[in-house]
Structure 1
Amino acid sequence: MALSRRTYLALVGGTAAVAGCSTGGAQTPSYDAPTVPVPEEVRSYLSDTGHFEGEALDLTDREAVDVAVGAEGNSGNNAYSPPAIQISPGTTVVWEWIRGSHNVIDTDGTFESDLGTNLTFEHTFEDPGTYTYYCSPHRRYGMKGAVVVESA
């Protein structure tokens, strides 16, 4: 079946409008911060995460840090950005959904968000240590992240 020019433009215009709305205007956070080496357990855990470059962003001494959920990576919008961060005890990490239906689940059960779209989830990290997390529907694609909480 051939489409008329009017039908084609209506379909393409509608698709563009939906695609433009899907992010809710949110952007991947950008930090002017140095990187630091990560523990071997983080490097190993994130080894199949396509956008992980072997280090964490050093975001210590901040009260709150944003992580995008549904950033571009891992064969689609299946990434956390940044994938690995280092923070101080008492820092709140705020995960903000920018695309798609995802969740945030700590591998040790410390925290877990709902599965959905256009969500915001936060957790305050009080104890030093390494926390690894993933998106349950997209873990197989490498949608994983890590938070390293430095010692006080």
Structure 2
Amino acid sequence: MTRRLSRRRYVVGTGAALTTGALAGCSGGGGDDGDGSGGDGGSDGSAGEPADDVPSGIDDYLTEGEARLYEGTIMDYTGQDEVVVDVGAGDVGFAFDPAAIRISAGTTVVWEWTGEGGAHNVASVEGSDAEFNSGDAVAEEGETFEQSFDAAGIQLYHCTPHQANGMLGGIEVVE
């Protein structure tokens, strides 16, 4: 179910009820300062911790697809209610930042557009444990797309117009 929250904010649920409190905690990422260091990753402003134990499904997908900003680590955001991923990050705007994240079941991922790299979307790929799609590609800075992940699994996604340019991402959802 996709629900328009405002002119530029969408919530997509996996069947779980979303409360006003869950939506009130929404925040934007820190933006990209050109070096790909990107967003804050959490609604409380805390950054995740890098970990080397990337699940093979995510590592293979990101490595084989030459994902931009992926350096063989996964950012661990377990225990947070919401995590922000920048869309259009990196030096040419063809990356998700961070490219690989680990979250707890029940966490909402908010993809926020930087306005760089042209029009982007966020779409799950075959092999993901859930289907999600932000819809048509858009270029406007501040656009957001939200997806709650309620069950453990591996989520692989890309920007459809820029997947050949390495605009790929992966999410490990843990119990």
TM-score category (smaller protein): 0.7 to 0.9
Is the contact made by 1:71 and 1:81 (CA closer than 8 Å) also made in structure 2? Answer: yes
Structure 1: segments with no counterpart, 5+ residues: 1-24
Q: How many equivalent pairs are there?
A: 125
Q: Taking structure 2 as the reference length, what is the TM-score of the superposition? A: 0.67
2:69 counterpart residue number = 51
* Alignment counterpart, residue 141 of structure 1, candidates 165, 168, 174: 165
- Report the alpha carbon displacement of residue 34 of structure 1 after superposing the two structures with TM: 1.7
Higher helix fraction (1 or 2): 1
Is the contact made by 1:26 and 1:98 (CA closer than 8 Å) also made in structure 2? Answer: no
Q: Distance in 1 between matches of 2:83 and 2:90?
A: 19
Q: Superposition RMSD on alpha carbons, in Å?
A: 1.7
Which ranges of 4 or more aligned residues in structure 1 deviate by more than 2 Å? 30-33
- Report the alpha carbon displacement of residue 49 of structure 1 after superposing the two structures with TM: 1.1
Partner amino acid, structure 2, of 1:136: T
Q: Distance in 2 between matches of 1:117 and 1:40?
A: 32
2:111 counterpart residue number = 95
* Alignment counterpart, residue 35 of structure 1, candidates 36, 45, 50: 50
Is the contact made by 1:89 and 1:125 (CA closer than 8 Å) also made in structure 2? Answer: yes
* Alignment counterpart, residue 120 of structure 1, candidates 139, 144, 147: 144
Structure 2: segments with no counterpart, 5+ residues: 1-28, 32-37, 42-46
Higher alpha-carbon Rg: 1
Q: Taking structure 1 as the reference length, what is the TM-score of the superposition? A: 0.77
Q: How many percent identity over aligned positions?
A: 38
Is the contact made by 2:68 and 2:99 (CA closer than 8 Å) also made in structure 1? Answer: no
Partner amino acid, structure 1, of 2:55: P
Superposition pairs of residues 54-65 of structure 1, within 5 angstroms = 54-65=72-83
Does residue 105 of the first structure (1) align with residue 127 of the second (2)? no
Secondary structure at the aligned position of 1:80 is classed as strand
1:3 counterpart residue number = none
Secondary structure at the aligned position of 2:160 is classed as coil
